[in-house]
Amino acid sequence: MASKIAVIGTGYVGLIQSVGLADFGNYVTGVDVRPEIVERLSSGEPTIFEHDLTEYLRRNLDARRVRFTTAVSDAVSDAEVVFIAVGTPENGDGTSDLSQIRAVVDAIKASASASTVVVTKSTVPVGTNRWISQKLNGGETDRRFVVASNPEFLREGRAIQDFFHPDRVVIGFDDPDMPAARDARALLEDIYRPLYLTSTPFVWTTFETAELIKYAANAFLATKITFINQMANLAEAVGADVQTIARTMGMDGRISGKFLHPGPGYGGSCFPKDTKALAATGDSVGVDMSLVKAVITGNDAQKARTAEKIIRLSGGSVDDREVAVLGLAFKAETDDIRESPAISVVAALLEAGATVTVHDPKALVGFRAEMERRGFADGRIAYHTDVFACITGAEAIVILTEWNEYRNLDLPRAYTLMHRGVRSESRLFDTRNVLDPDAARKAGFVYIGTGR
Ligand SMILES: NC(=O)c1ccc[n+]([C@@H]2O[C@H](COP(=O)([O-])OP(=O)(O)OC[C@H]3O[C@@H](n4cnc5c(N)ncnc54)[C@H](O)[C@@H]3O)[C@@H](O)[C@H]2O)c1
């Protein structure tokens, strides 16, 4: 049966949730505080880049199963289920900034009628769903809110696919055996019914376990990345090949080769903040989270090391040299630049006196806004929509994101376009190991990979 659903916050998570649930046949109203987002989505223009999103958005707009508004009350007043998908960025001390969550909870309480199921998709620290439940049900009210914790595991770049084919769905209740929780479970089972039909595992659990599952999963993946980055650094120092090491480790089914790709450090809107929030949660209850803390410092060091290595292997200085940086998004197939290693690497190169030209197939606009926000005015960085224009005249190329466009780069052409003064060889820093070193050398480059 089709349900009436409100999704509050239509960023990466909320927008996918809105169009996905609408595609299941539900009636969804997506809410965002930013009018420009609502306007664009209402006209069928996605505000983020995700494969197939345009098609899903337009199809469900046309079928009148999804609509967008800035008014929480409009969306929530007759919704049976309200999903919260607003941001939970980090505070300066690593704890989570829950101000967006608090604002939304107040708005739901003011607008929801009858009994509403409130589902938290945002990543929130342990205790938050219990707090939301107490807040919604506190004071004089004859309404009964059932709160569920339903953390999101989508991968940016594959978010639509992950929505329709998740590895698992986790749903936590205050007490899963309470009658109200059983009713809410039946409603959520109904909403997610198509996933049942594809045998998606559902994990029904408590608030605290659901909240911690999300952080545990992200911290573990961040640990794998940091581990292989440190192995890459060691391989470099002793003359071993991290690619062969990672591939061979991955042949062991207990380890798996996923997330064993060395690079300039992890970024994105999740791993950096979620590892810090997990460490902060450990501190708040006096539990040792030293492994997670080592991952955080190890990742910061990897980003710094990437810039240092470029400078060191450019003869010790990039002062007055032009460096072409390819790839600004924190990973391929997304336009998200939040916490991207490109931000700190480009900043370090600029501070070392380089002139930097940059290219990215999707993330150029966001990166430009972020660098301007950080005080790097236009003029110091040249932004290119064409990769060969970006490379032309550069003395070094740095690949920071594993876009397929760079894997298939026409290396002889790139080499020809570069500047070759007396002082420079044409260096190619392949921080993601996306290129064939022999092919790069054959084209004329001094090839510098990571851990190989
Ligand atoms: N991005 C991911 O890949 C991902 C994956 C899993 C979980 N998460 C988690 O999901 C949550 C959302 O992440 P995101 O990347 O979608 O964030 P986002 O910043 O892209 O989107 C949040 C949206 O909420 C809107 N918003 C803020 N306050 C609001 C309010 N009071 N009312 C209505 N709208 C409001 C913002 O304008 C923004 O569009 C975070 O907790 C994040 O950790 C994100």
CATH number of the domain within which 118 lies: 3.40.50.720
Residue 391 lies in a domain: yes
76 contacts: CB under 8 Å, gap ≥ 6: 6, 8, 31, 82, 107, 108, 111, 112, 116
Count of beta carbons in the 10 Å neighbourhood of residue 418: 22
User: Facing residues of 326 across strands?
Assistant: 359, 399
Task: Tell me if 394 sits within 8 A of 382, measured CB to CB.
Answer: no
Residues 163 and 309 in one domain: no
- Of ligand 1's listed atoms, the one at least distance from the Cα of 270 is 43
Of 315, 234, 300, the closest CA to residue 267 belongs to: 300
Task: Tell me if 51 sits within 8 A of 7, measured CB to CB.
Answer: no
Report d(CA 320, CA 331) in Å as an integer: 29
What does each C-alpha distance from 222 to 219, 405, 410, 426, 434 come to in angstroms?
A: 5, 25, 32, 33, 20
Q: Express each pLDDT in 92-110 by its tens digit.
A: 999 999 999 999 999 999 9
- Of ligand 1's listed atoms, the one at least distance from the Cα of 274 is 43
Residue 237 lies in a domain: no
Residue after which a domain boundary falls, among 167, 200, 233: 200
Residue after which a domain boundary falls, among 200, 225, 256: 200
Gap from CA of 328 to ligand 1 centroid (Å): 21
Residues 317 and 176 in one domain: no
Question: Could you give the residue ranges of the DSSP H alpha helices within 256-409?
Answer: 271-284, 290-312, 341-351, 364-373, 387-391, 404-407
Residues 360 and 293 in one domain: yes
User: Facing residues of 90 across strands?
Assistant: 96
Q: Look at residue 49 in the predicted model and tell me its pLDDT.
A: 96
Residue 230 lies in a domain: no
Residue of minimum CA distance from atom 1 in ligand 1: 12
Q: Express each pLDDT in 383-440 by its tens digit.
A: 999 999 999 999 999 999 999 999 999 999 999 999 876 556 899 999 999 999 999 9
Q: Burial of 96 by CB count in 10 Å (0-12 exposed, 13-18 middle, 19+ buried)?
A: buried
Residues 277 and 178 in one domain: no
Residue of minimum CA distance from atom 13 in ligand 1: 87
Residues 344 and 437 in one domain: yes
What does each C-alpha distance from 160 to 20, 50, 287 come to in angstroms?
A: 7, 7, 37
| 3-state secondary structure at position 246 | helix
Q: Express each pLDDT in 221-250 by its tens digit.
A: 999 999 999 999 999 999 999 999 999 999
Q: Is 316 left (phi over 0), alpha (psi -120 to 50) or beta?
A: left
Report d(CA 49, CA 47) in Å as an integer: 7
| 3-state secondary structure at position 147 | strand
Angle between helices 99-111 and 128-137 (to 10 degrees): 30
Residues 248 and 190 in one domain: no
Residue 306 lies in a domain: yes
Gap from CA of 11 to ligand 1 centroid (Å): 5
Q: Burial of 25 by CB count in 10 Å (0-12 exposed, 13-18 middle, 19+ buried)?
A: middle
Residues 145 and 275 in one domain: no
Which one of the listed residues 21, 270, 289, 400 is annotated catalytic?
Answer: 270
Report d(CA 95, CA 325) in Å as an integer: 32
Residue 141 has pLDDT above 80, yes or no: no
Residues 260 and 359 in one domain: yes
Domain that holds residue 440: 243-448
Gap from CA of 391 to ligand 1 centroid (Å): 35
Gap from CA of 412 to ligand 1 centroid (Å): 43
Report d(CA 48, CA 54) in Å as an integer: 10
Count the domains in the chain: 2
Amino acid at 232: A
- Radius of gyration of the chain measured on its C-alpha atoms: 24
Q: Express each pLDDT in 264-321 by its tens digit.
A: 999 999 999 999 999 999 999 999 999 999 999 999 999 999 999 999 999 999 999 9
Residue of minimum CA distance from atom 15 in ligand 1: 12
Residue 165 lies in a domain: yes
Q: Look at residue 422 in the predicted model and tell me its pLDDT.
A: 57
28 phi and psi angles, rounded to 5 deg = -120, 135
Residues 383 and 279 in one domain: yes
Q: Express each pLDDT in 47-93 by its tens digit.
A: 999 999 999 999 999 999 999 999 999 999 999 999 999 999 999 99
Report d(CA 308, CA 314) in Å as an integer: 10
Q: Is 383 left (phi over 0), alpha (psi -120 to 50) or beta?
A: beta
Residues 400 and 309 in one domain: yes
Give the mutation target among 152, 218, 221, 370 for probing the ligand 1 site: most ligand atoms within 8 A of CB. Answer: 152
Helix (H) or strand (E) holding 30: strand 27-31
Give the mutation target among 86, 106, 156 for probing the ligand 1 site: most ligand atoms within 8 A of CB. Answer: 86
pLDDT, mean of residues 165-176: 96
Pocket around ligand 1: residues whose beta carbon is below 6 Å from it?
A: 8-14, 31-34, 37, 85-88, 100, 103-104, 122-123, 152, 154, 156, 269-270
Give the mutation target among 7, 10, 12, 333 for probing the ligand 1 site: most ligand atoms within 8 A of CB. Answer: 12
Residues 408 and 300 in one domain: yes
Q: Look at residue 226 in the predicted model and tell me its pLDDT.
A: 98
270 tagged catalytic: yes
Residue 234 lies in a domain: no
Residue after which a domain boundary falls, among 200, 228, 252: 200
Residue 378 has pLDDT above 80, yes or no: no
Residues 253 and 154 in one domain: no
Gap from CA of 299 to ligand 1 centroid (Å): 24
Q: Look at residue 380 in the predicted model and tell me its pLDDT.
A: 82
Angle between helices 207-238 and 290-312 (to 10 degrees): 40
Report d(CA 245, CA 260) in Å as an integer: 10
Residue 233 lies in a domain: no
Residue of minimum CA distance from atom 44 in ligand 1: 13
Could you tell me how many residues make up the chain? 452
Strand ranges inside 87-235, DSSP E: 117-120, 146-149, 169-173, 202-206
Amino acid at 306: T
Residue 393 lies in a domain: yes
User: Facing residues of 70 across strands?
Assistant: none
